[in-house]
């Protein structure tokens, strides 16, 4: 018995190095392929970062230069530091400080539209996900189809509708169309289907809670991460909206910052002593981006914490 066991152990020990030698080239090859993929992904990530960061860096750098330095110095290096404060002063005083009026208009349009669109999208998506009624599939299909329609195709019909109601050249002509977010409805429908358990709704009904009360007190808290996501998307979309205010508004005091800066840019490109506006327009563009960055940083903690909480199952 001992001799047989020794032979088996010896033969097994002799075979193991051969297996290791056979498998080691394959493992090395797999390791090299994994390293190459990791390097390619890293390079792609840095290219993507540069694609998004370099324009913002150029904008920041341009705010430290006057009009002549914009065309005579290297574009990705800073100018004189005091020029930034000079540009801010020119921005604040040009045309009696109308830029700050445009910023307030933009904030009003964006905040009201984003909050309203988020509430409507959340309620609609929740209803489509948790209630069964006749025609729900057709309604959802219609919403999906509306996502594919470009906004420019709806500009003229929207203008005619608001012109018939004497609502053009008013804040309502910007706010009311922005309250509709088909993508937000789709997103909340998908999110509500997984985040709100049917047993919770049944327990609320057994306790005597109405459907509207259940939505506001229970379901809306569970849908908070999706709500914040739609809020951010709609806030950015309305803040950066240019075409709709361009065709709806005629009064400069009602312009958002996008249309106002575009008017300044057109005047600067036309010349006639208005070329000093180039540095003012770039400074205004930089200032207009700051509220979006602050809003994202403020809402991000609710977004991330809500997603982390929703990912934990008991």
DSSP reduced 3-state for 311? coil
DSSP reduced 3-state for 255? coil
- pLDDT (mean) for 202-216: 89
Are residues 226 and 158 located together in one domain of the fold?
Answer: yes
In a domain, 184, yes or no: yes
Are residues 233 and 107 located together in one domain of the fold?
Answer: yes
The encoded tokens of residue 77 equal 């290096």
Identify the band that residue 124 occupies on the pLDDT scale cut at 50, 70 and 90: very high
Instruction: Please provide the DSSP assignment of 197-240 as one string.
Output: -HHHHHHHHHTT--HHHHIIIIIHHHTHHHHHHHHHHHHHHHHT
In a domain, 288, yes or no: yes
Structure confidence by residue, pLDDT tens digits, 34-66:
777 788 888 989 999 889 888 888 888 888 888
In a domain, 6, yes or no: no
Identify the band that residue 148 occupies on the pLDDT scale cut at 50, 70 and 90: confident
- Using a CB cutoff of 8 Å and minimum separation of 24, what contacts does 146-150 make? 146/182, 147/182, 147/183, 147/186
Distance between terminal CA atoms of the chain? 55
Are residues 253 and 123 located together in one domain of the fold?
Answer: yes
User: Is the separation of the CB atoms in 281 and 102 below 8 Å?
Assistant: no
Are residues 240 and 294 located together in one domain of the fold?
Answer: yes
In a domain, 7, yes or no: no
Within its chain, how far is the Cα of 86 from the centroid?
A: 32
- Lowest-confidence range among 3-17, 115-129, 274-288, 295-309? 3-17
In angstroms, the CA 252 to CA 92 distance is 16
Are residues 118 and 263 located together in one domain of the fold?
Answer: yes
Are residues 30 and 130 located together in one domain of the fold?
Answer: no
User: Is the separation of the CB atoms in 99 and 105 below 8 Å?
Assistant: no
Residue with tokens 């979309």: 237
Residue with tokens 């208009």: 105
Are residues 27 and 116 located together in one domain of the fold?
Answer: no
Radius of gyration of the chain (CA): 29
Q: Looking at residue 157, which CATH number applies to its domain?
A: 1.10.3720.10
Are residues 250 and 144 located together in one domain of the fold?
Answer: yes
In a domain, 298, yes or no: yes
In a domain, 23, yes or no: yes
- pLDDT (mean) for 272-282: 70
Question: Which domain, by its residues, includes 53?
Answer: 12-62
Are residues 109 and 166 located together in one domain of the fold?
Answer: yes
Are residues 137 and 257 located together in one domain of the fold?
Answer: yes
Share of the chain above pLDDT 70, in %: 82
Handedness of CA 93, 98, 99, 103 (dihedral sign): positive
Structure confidence by residue, pLDDT tens digits, 211-239:
889 999 989 888 988 898 899 999 999 99
Predicted local distance difference test score (pLDDT) of residue 237: 92
- Lowest-confidence range among 26-40, 48-62, 185-199, 277-291? 26-40
Domain count, the chain: 2
User: Is the separation of the CB atoms in 118 and 126 below 8 Å?
Assistant: no
273: left (phi over 0), alpha (psi -120 to 50) or beta: left
In a domain, 78, yes or no: no
Start-end of H helices in the chain: 2-62, 67-72, 81-93, 98-130, 136-147, 151-164, 172-178, 182-195, 198-206, 211-214, 220-222, 224-239, 243-248, 257-270, 277-310
Are residues 49 and 193 located together in one domain of the fold?
Answer: no
Are residues 24 and 154 located together in one domain of the fold?
Answer: no
């Amino acid at each position: 018995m001992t001799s047989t066991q020794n032979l088996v152990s010896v033969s097994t020990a002799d075979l193991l190095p051969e297996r290791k030698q056979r498998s080691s080239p394959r493992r090395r090859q797999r390791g090299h392929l994994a390293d190459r993929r990791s390097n390619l992904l890293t390079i792609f990530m840095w290219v993507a970062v540069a694609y998004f960061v370099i324009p913002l860096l150029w904008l920041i750098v341009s705010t430290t230069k006057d009009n002549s330095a914009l065309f005579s110095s290297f574009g990705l290096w800073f100018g004189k530091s005091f020029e930034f404060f000079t540009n801010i002063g020119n921005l604040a005083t040009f045309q009696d400080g109308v830029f700050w009026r445009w910023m307030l208009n933009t904030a009003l349009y964006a905040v009201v539209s984003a909050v309203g669109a988020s509430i409507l999208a959340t309620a609609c998506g929740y209803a489509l996900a948790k209630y069964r009624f006749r025609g729900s599939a057709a309604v959802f299909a219609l919403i999906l189809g509306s996502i594919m329609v470009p906004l420019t195709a709806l500009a003229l019909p929207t203008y005619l509708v608001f012109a018939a109601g004497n609502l053009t050249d008013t804040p309502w002509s910007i706010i009311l169309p922005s309250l509709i977010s088909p993508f937000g409805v789709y997103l909340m429908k998908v999110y509500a289907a997984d985040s709100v358990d049917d047993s919770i709704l049944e327990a609320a009904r057994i306790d005597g809670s109405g459907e509207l009360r259940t939505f506001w007190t229970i379901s809306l808290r569970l849908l908070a991460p999706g709500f914040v996501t739609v809020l951010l998307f709609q806030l950015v979309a309305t803040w950066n909206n240019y075409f709709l205010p361009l065709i709806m508004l005629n009064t400069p005091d009602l312009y958002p910052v996008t249309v106002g800066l575009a008017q300044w840019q057109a005047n600067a490109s036309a010349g006639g002593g208005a070329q000093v506006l180039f540095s003012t327009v770039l400074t205004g563009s930089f200032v207009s981006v700051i509220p979006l960055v602050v809003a994202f940083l403020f809402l991000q903690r609710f977004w991330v914490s809500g997603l982390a909480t929703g990912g934990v199952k008991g």
